[in-house]
Structure formats: structure tokens, C-alpha cells
Amino acid sequence: MYLAVNILGLLVFLALGWVFSHDRKGIDWKSVGCMVVLNLAITWLLTSFQWGRDAVKAAADGFAWIVNISYKGINFAVANWVGPTGTDPAPVNFIVSALLPILLIVPLFDILTYIGFLPWIIKWIGRGLSFVTRRPKFETFYAVEMMFLGNTEALAVSKIQLQRMKAGRNVTLAMMSMSCVTAAIIGSYIQMVPGEFVITAIPLNCINALIVSHMLYPVTVTKDEDVIYTLGDPASEDDVPELTEAEQQAKDKAVAEYNALPWYKKIYKHDPAAPKKEPFFSFLGDSILGAGKLILIITANVIAFVALAGLIDAFLGMIWDKLSLESILGVVMYVPAWLLGLDPGTAWEFSQLMGLKLVTNEFVVMGQITGEVASYAAHYKAVLTVFITSFANFSTLGMVIGCFKGIVDKEKNDAISKQVGRMLLSGILVSLLSAAMVGLFVW
């Protein structure tokens, strides 16, 4: 019976994406179907074979290694703020552990963009994933990138793409960003809850973020728009410089001469069709300053969003001392919890933890259950762990909106701000879909 309920839940969660869609007729159901089948296959592999989980963990460890290196620079400047792995002293300083690593990560990825390596990686990984998922190349690459790098870092290193893409695609990426995690803290997760389900949740959230964002906010991307931009490309089509006839002829001649060269000479010869780059250290300085500005914007937005949530709780408490955002969400989430194949009593317990996670964060819930989660029934342990393994909460809204404000123009920011409700819904539906998929295979 509960397996049938779990299957029904999976269908209901997909249906909710259609119900709350911005453009129901724009949904590509073939793409959605392909991604659902792909995710079910991934779920089976990760819940049935250790080698699958080991592969995901290896990728996560690689990103965590980069983040841990950033703490060397942080500890040199502010030695008493954070330990060598970003988790000391306790409680963790959010700005230092989650945001200051941006000062290494953004310049690092900007350097990879400067030398042309990152656009090449995005092009080919995105092309492969795009073929399977039928989604645009950059969105598919971003889905993988954000699951290890984190939402603000992944957005920050993607600024060239964000600035060139139309507003609708920016909205899609904002919704996807609600469902990420950061590789640097996966180690902390697996110390508190079953590690095999944490690792399983990572790739499932990746594909489900593509599914849900497309259903909630379908955007048509033409072949001409589905390109990977490189450093030096103008921020918009209006910024493309116009050449005189003589200049255009000279450029065409230089391009033709370059294309006629043997492949090995093209390695060290400059491509005249490629945009000119500014001097490296000037570029690097701008990258570092941009990362610092981004940290300040994100910090301000997070403080404001969390404080506003606290203010709402205070007003609700005046009505009834047991009334809060957490308790309201706990009631709202009861039916989705039951649809994950849980008995009514367990579903109520789970819904309260759901509400707590959405208002606070996943660490609060993990800390509350860490001493007893091992004794939970296998199915409950699996769906609970997978659901809480993401950053989907109110403070993440502030982080994502703040990040976009530091990167893109007002038109794109306004488009994102109008979809705040769908952004939060996107994070919730992704977590529910991932939990429902894992629940099908663990009993």
C-alpha cells in the first residue's frame, strides 16, 4: 500500500509543477519524460551499487579540496575566525565559511575562462547532457556545477553567461539555484545523517532541478541562443562594435589566413575572430574586486531575509504563542510527507521537520535527528535524509537574489524578483521528487 502511495506522490509532485507553471503549453513533455527516466535509473544505481556512490563522492571531494584551500588565505587574514576546514570554531561563521571562499573560487574560474578552458568544458559536457535531457547546454552544465560548487559560487563564476542570456533563462537558473549543496560541507552532512543517502541526493537534485525549473518556468531557447560565451564577448548584442568596410575586410583576411594554418600552429597563434582580452593582472584584479562586492551584496540580502522571517514570526506569536512560519509550514507539508509513503504518525513528524528546514536550514534538522536517525525505519531514513540534503530555505532566497543583483541588470533582476514564490516552490518540489524517487527503491 505505502509503495503505491509513494508512486502516487511522485506523480502528484510532477503534477504540481504543471499546476503552478508560468506557461503550461510551453512544457516539453518529452524532455521531462527523458529526465524522469534518467533520474530513476540513477536512483537505482546509487541505491543498489557502492561504485555509483563512490563516483559521486569523488567528484564532491574534488570541489571540497578547492574550497578547503581557500581557508588558507582566510586564516592568514583572520586567523581566529575559522579553522582549516571552515568548521571551527563552532558555531560556524556563515560569512567566513560560506562566502569568503568566493574570493578564491571566482578568480580561479575566471582564470579558467580567460585561458578558454572553462567555456570548452561547458560546451562539451553541456552538449552531452543536453543530448540526453533535451535541455540547453549551459543549463545542463550549470545543474552539475551548482550541486558541488554551491549556488552563489556557481552563479558568480557564470556571470558571462548570465549577462548575455535573456531574462527568462536567468529566472530558470535562479530556480535551479534553490536546490544546490556545497561540496565543502558534504563531509559535515555525512557525520550527522546516513552518508549513502546524502551522496544519492546530490545527482538526483541536479536532474530534478532541470525538470522542475523547466515545468514552472518554460523558456524556449533557439539554436542561436544555445551558445557558450567566452571572455571578451559583449554584455549584449547592442554592445557589438561596428566596423568600417576597410576594417571588416582586414579582419576577414586575417581570419581566413588563421583558418588556413595547420592545427598545431593554431595552438599558439591568436585567433583574430576571438575577442581581444585585457591584460591578465588587470583582469584578475577586477575579478577579485567583483568577488568582494558580491560577498557584501549577498550578506546584506541574507541578513534582511532572515530578519524579515523573524519579524513575521514575532507578529504571528502575538496572535498565538505557538504560531510561527515553521508551524504553518509543518501543517502545509503534511500531505506531501504522507505522499512519500509514510504512515500518518510518521508523516506528521516528518512534516514538522520539513517546516523547520524551510524556515531555518538543513543543519538545524540534521543536528536534531543525528542521535536517532540510525534507528529509523529504512524507508523513512532514506526519504528524510534526501529531502533535507539541499539549501532550499528562506535564507537561500536572499542569497540567490542578492547574487543576481551583483551580476545582471535591472530588467533581469526584476524578472527574477517576480518569481520569488516559484523559486521557493522549485526548491521544495525538487527535494520532494528526489525523496520520492529514492523511496521507491528503499523499504
State pLDDT tens for residues 178-229. 988 766 567 667 767 888 888 889 889 989 999 999 999 999 888 888 877 7
Q: Is the peptide bond before 84 cis (omega within 30 degrees of 0)?
A: no
Average the pLDDT over 243-265 and give the result: 72
Average the pLDDT over 396-412 and give the result: 87
Residues constituting the chain: 443
Distance CA 61, CA 278 (A): 34
Inform me whether the pLDDT recorded for 392 exceeds 90.
no
Give the contacts of 157 (CB within 8 A, at least 6 positions apart): 105, 106, 109, 110, 113, 118, 145, 149
Q: Are 148 and 101 in contact (CB under 8 A)?
A: no
Q: Are 159 and 230 in contact (CB under 8 A)?
A: no
Q: Are 161 and 123 in contact (CB under 8 A)?
A: no
Q: What is the DSSP letter of 182?
A: B
Average the pLDDT over 122-132 and give the result: 76
Lowest mean pLDDT among 16-25, 244-253, 392-401: 244-253
State pLDDT tens for residues 321-347. 878 887 888 889 999 999 999 999 999
Q: Hey, is 115 helix, strand or coil?
A: coil
* Per-residue pLDDT at 340: 95
Give the contacts of 247 (CB within 8 A, at least 6 positions apart): none
- Prediction pTM value: 0.77
Q: Which residues partner with 182 through β-bridges?
A: 149
Q: Of residues 259 and 332, which shows the higher confidence score?
A: 332
Inform me whether the pLDDT recorded for 94 exceeds 70.
no
- What distance separates the 2 farthest-apart alpha carbons in the chain? 78
Average the pLDDT over 85-100 and give the result: 65
* Per-residue pLDDT at 242: 60
Average the pLDDT over 367-371 and give the result: 81
State pLDDT tens for residues 276-324. 667 888 888 888 887 887 778 767 777 787 788 788 888 888 888 878 8
Inform me whether the pLDDT recorded for 232 exceeds 70.
no
Inform me whether the pLDDT recorded for 237 exceeds 60.
no
State pLDDT tens for residues 143-153. 887 776 777 77
Average the pLDDT over 111-115 and give the result: 79
